[in-house]
Chain A
Amino acid sequence: MKYTILVYENTADFGARTDATRKDAYWGAYRAYTKALTDAGVMVGGAGLQPPPLATTVRLRDGKRQVQDGPFADTKEQLGGYYVIEVPGLDQALDWAARCPSASSGSVDVRPNLSM
């Protein structure tokens, strides 16, 4: 079954991406996690996302476009990236989610993909 691991990071995590003293640990952990998923043959796809200030939200209301800077919700933890994996079931998906570096600092959602 395919699952998507949604990675929510806090401000400190987003900051670690470019911070001189923390960026090696941040990227090292993510490179290793991605490699482990690939080597285990469960990786389907995914992407890391630029931080929330670079988001632009678009809505259509009553035929009018509304465009807004920033993410649609202003919460402490924001989507930082996602992985799509293929594993036998939810138990294995949760095992992989727990290994995601951001599970220790932010939080990680696991959702079964719709089959389309």
Chain B
Amino acid sequence: MYVPTCRCDGREDTIDAHRAAELAARTAYGRLVAYLAASWRDVAAAEDALGDALVSALEAWPRAGIPNNPDAWLLAAARRRLIDAARHAKVEASAAPALEILVGRTRDEGVTAAVFPDERLKLLFVCAHPAIDEAARTPLMLQTVLGLDAARIASAFLVAPATMSQRLVRVKAKIRDAGIRFEVPDPRELPSRVEAVLEAIYAAFGSGWDDVAGADPRRRGLADEAIWLGRLVTRLLPGEAEALGLLALMLHCQARRPARRGADGRYVPLDRQDVRHWSRAMIDEAEQVLAAASAAGRPGRFQLEAAIQSAHARRATTGQTDWEAIALLYEGLLLCGATTGARVGQAAALARARDAAAGLAALESIPQDSVVAYQPYWALKAHLLKRLGRADEAREAYARAIGLAEDEAVREFLAAESSV
């Protein structure tokens, strides 16, 4: 009989040390970057220092053992790097006081750094600051708070990796050079600043999707990461109704992901999805979160969008969809600022609540220049024209919708619809 003996070549320790470093990186990355960036006011320098600290951890831990508090170890190592780098660059006189503060903190850090303040909220506000280019906000958040690499972010947003890296470098230099402050905005500014943070998170959720309700479930984009950020914001800003609304919205959409494809890989539109494939646990959580949001009595865009998805989710229990209620919710949503997506959604609901002609009228009132390359508009238009018996126009619209679709299953679905 073969009895495995203890291998004393230290390999298992090495693996453990690697795991500990990885785990520390994943769980604490954002907290460490946020804390270092907030005290050093330089996001790129904080990331570099933490990156170096992680590399030294992978070297040191297998030899010396995993420290009791990996986060504190990484923080101390990263601070040393920051100070060394600053000394090396022969800090200007103006930066010297900050340097002394840091050195001072480093001295007593051995005992106190076990508990360092969570500065991630400030970092989120910096990432979505009005002075930062809107297109760069979500990528910046994903990189600094979650530690995602630029190549992965670039793919999700369909941008060349080199371009994405340059954008991130530029925007971090701007934060440093323009002196964008790491702080929670004052109450007057807070609502609009929170909205910018939530918009940036929602952009991560929708990355790589033409249409949040119908995209390819295999193309996960950054949906899980966005939900993680959404949860983080509800913890950091408890009682913020719109943050809860956003989380409920994302959970509702995510709950339906497994139902968006048939067993044969075919695209299944929302109203034909088998509700048994919806995640009840996620729907229940979404409903609880949305109820908590409504309790605050401050409705907003994300709560309305979540309410629309909640109305769709009710089909799982009632077997029916209340299209009149959904059309009404879209009307509320349009009052919060009309986006093309919301107007197309409202037209779809009107077509179901009343008739195809009402839906088409709503669709045709949307300014044409905003729908030139907007696929869901053409898919809905084709469907409504077909129902109204306008076959030639329907075929034209189907061709347009197929040509604008990125997803092969959606193309096949529309081609089949077009030919019957």
A-side interface residues toward B, CB under 8 Å?
A: 25, 28-29, 31-37, 39-41, 90-91, 94-95, 98-99, 101, 103-105
**Interchain CB contact under 8 A, B403 and A99:** yes
> Which chain B residues border A33 with CB–CB below 8 Å?
402-403
Q: Which of B387-413 contact A (CB under 8 A)?
A: 398-408, 411-412
B180 interfacial contact with A, CB 8 Å:
no
Q: List 6 A-B contacts (CB under 8 A).
A: A28-B402, A35-B400, A35-B403, A40-B373, A101-B408, A104-B408
Cα–Cα, bound, A17→B401 (Å): 21
Nearest CB in chain B: distance from A67 CB, A: 37
Closest Cβ of chain B to A4, distance in Å, is: 15
Give the distance to chain B from A86, nearest Cβ to Cβ, in Å.
14
A41: chain B residues within 8 A (beta carbon): 372
Q: Which residues of A contact B372 (CB under 8 A)?
A: 39-41
Which residue from A32, A95, A101 sits with its C-beta under 8 Å from B158? A95
Are the C-beta atoms of A90 and B411 separated by less than 8 Å? no
Q: Which residues of A contact B407 (CB under 8 A)?
A: 104
The 4 closest A-B pairs by CB, nearest first: A36-B403, A32-B402, A32-B403, A104-B408
Residue of B373, B398, B406 most packed against chain A (CB within 10 A): B373
Instruction: Report Cα–Cα, A41/B402, bound state, in Å.
Output: 17
A90 to B161, CA, bound (A): 12
* Contact (Cβ within 8 A) B412 A25: yes
Do the beta carbons of B405 and A35 come within 8 Å of each other? no
Query: CA of A103 to CA of B402 in the docked complex: distance in angstroms?
Result: 14
A30 and chain B: residue at smallest CB distance: B403
Please pick, from A34, A91, A94, A101, the residue contacting B411 in the complex, using a CB distance under 8 A. Answer: A101
- Tell me the minimal C-beta distance from A79 to chain B in angstroms: 21
Any A CB within 8 A of the CB of B160: yes
Residue of A with least CB distance to B208: A98
**Are B402 and A29 closer than 8 Å at their CB atoms?**
yes
Asked if B163 is an interface residue, CB under 8 A from chain A, the answer is yes
Contacts of B403 in A (CB 8 A): 31-37, 39, 99
Contact of B406 with A35 in the complex, beta carbons under 8 Å: no
Cross-chain contact of A31 among B399, B401, B405, B412 (Cβ < 8 A): B399
Q: Secondary structure at chain B's binding surface: helix, strand, loop or mixed?
A: helix
Whether A99 pairs with B404 at a CB distance below 8 angstroms is yes
**Residue from the list B159, B160, B404, B408 in contact with A36, Cβ < 8 A:** B404
In the complex, the answer to whether B405 meets A99 with C-beta atoms within 8 Å is yes
Kindly identify, within residues 349 to 391 of chain B, every residue whose CB is under 8 Å from any CB belonging to chain A.
372-373
Q: Once the chains are docked, how many angstroms separate the CA of A90 from the CA of B162? A: 12
Considering only residues 169-207 of chain B, those with a C-beta below 8 Å from chain A are none
Cα–Cα, bound, A35→B398 (Å) = 11
Which residues from chain A contact B163 at a C-beta distance below 8 Å? Answer: 90
User: CB-CB < 8 A to B408: which residues of A?
Assistant: 101, 104-105
State the Cβ distance, B211 to closest chain A Cβ, in Å. 13
Contacts of A31 in B (CB 8 A): 399, 403
B415, CB-defined interface residue at 8 Å = yes
Whole-angstrom CA separation of A37 from B404 in the bound complex: 8
Residue in contact with B373 in the complex, picked from A28, A91, A95, A105, CB distance below 8 Å: A95
Q: Are B415 and A99 in contact (CB under 8 A)?
A: no
Given contacts A25-B412, A32-B400, A36-B400, contact A94 B160 (CB under 8 A): yes
A91 touches B159 (CB 8 A): yes
Instruction: State in angstroms the CA–CA spacing of A25 and B405 once bound together.
Output: 14
Other A-B pairs beyond A31-B399, A34-B403, A95-B158, 12, CB < 8 Å: A28-B402, A29-B402, A29-B415, A32-B399, A32-B400, A32-B401, A35-B403, A91-B159, A99-B405, A99-B406, A104-B408, A105-B408
Contacts of A95 in B (CB 8 A): 158, 373
